Amino acid sequence: MRLYNLRIICFLLAVILLSGCSNSLPVLAVPEQVSYEDELKIAQLSQQLSQNDIDTITRMQLIFERGIVYDSLGFKAFAYSDFTHLLSFNPEIPDLYNFLGNYALRDGDFDSALASFNTTLELDPAYAFAYLNRAITLYRTGHYESADRDALQFYQYDVNEPIRILWLYLIEKEIDNKVAQHELQKRYDLLNDKTIYSSDIVAFYLGKINESKLMQNLQQGVESNRQLAERLCEAYFYLGKYYQSKGDNERAKMLFKYALANNIYNFVEHQQALYEMKLLEEKEK
């Protein structure tokens, strides 16, 4: 099974390198893979769960932990099974509805996604990421004003995180592009630290740096392959959205492939890059 997955990855990377999206070769990380430690963790949790003498609270904690591991590795069906099973123990855990909402959002089941995120926020009105997830769902269904309210709520939890600024911009430009550009500049100016790599994505959107400079800056201070893969997943997704807004769907499609190639399954950018690919492929039919 692992050899089969590696063949797919090698093929994907070959396609990416041969296709290219600019005059220079793209920056790539080694795609994240299921490690021996990951497999061992799942085996240990499953072994513990097979015991009959553990109490209900411990069983719930183990199931939840295993679901988190499954989710991070892209095993969504297994994660979904664990999280829905947990609801039979306690139907009032907001994390569960947030995960289930994300799976529905990924599959384009927007009604179920909205219901899940609404439940998350009913159970915990301060659940920050549920606001982002609901905003994305509303954005996908064309309810931009409502999406903007949720995205703004998410932004206000941390006004110094550039990714929050980007989602606000992507939504607000669907309402009024000129106002969105003005707000993007204003929020960028308010950032405490413009040296962090994600602020460069905003700077690129504002025309302050070019794509080459963005990719060069992104690699500075990287301490591990995982960290590089996470940065690339984010950067390539937002680059894809930028070129898509300019009408360059071929370039956007390739950039979404780059984002997916890093295998950062639990990032919203990976999830949304996959959905963007689906939309573009439907347009080509």
Helix (H), strand (E), coil (C) string for 263-280: CCCCCHHHHHHHHHHHHH
What pLDDT is attached to residue 26? 85
Q: Output the pTM of the full model.
A: 0.89
How far is CA 4 from each of CA 8, 74, 91, 97, 162, rounded to the nearest angstrom? 7, 16, 38, 33, 37
Q: Read off the pLDDT of residues 78-105 as tens digits, 9 standing for 90 and up.
A: 999 999 999 999 999 999 999 999 999 9
User: Do 98 and 107 form a contact (C-beta atoms < 8 A)?
Assistant: no
Whether 134 shows a pLDDT value over 90: the answer reads yes
What pLDDT is attached to residue 20? 41
How far is CA 239 from each of CA 63, 226, 243, rounded to the nearest angstrom? 37, 20, 6
What pLDDT is attached to residue 18? 37
Whether 38 shows a pLDDT value over 80: the answer reads yes
Whether 161 shows a pLDDT value over 50: the answer reads yes
Whether 19 shows a pLDDT value over 90: the answer reads no
Return the percentage of the chain with pLDDT > 90, whole number. Answer: 85
Specify the long-range contacts of residues 76-84, CB closer than 8 Å, at least 24 apart. 76/103, 76/106, 76/265, 79/103
Whether 225 shows a pLDDT value over 70: the answer reads yes
- Which residue, chain included where needed, has tokens 């995180």? 161
User: Do 73 and 38 form a contact (C-beta atoms < 8 A)?
Assistant: yes
Confidence category of residue 8, pLDDT binned at 50, 70, 90: very low
What pLDDT is attached to residue 285? 73
Whether 3 shows a pLDDT value over 90: the answer reads no
Confidence category of residue 24, pLDDT binned at 50, 70, 90: low
Confidence category of residue 55, pLDDT binned at 50, 70, 90: very high
State the average pLDDT over residues 68-81: 96
108 sits in the region (left: phi over 0; alpha: psi -120 to 50; else beta) called left
What pLDDT is attached to residue 283? 83
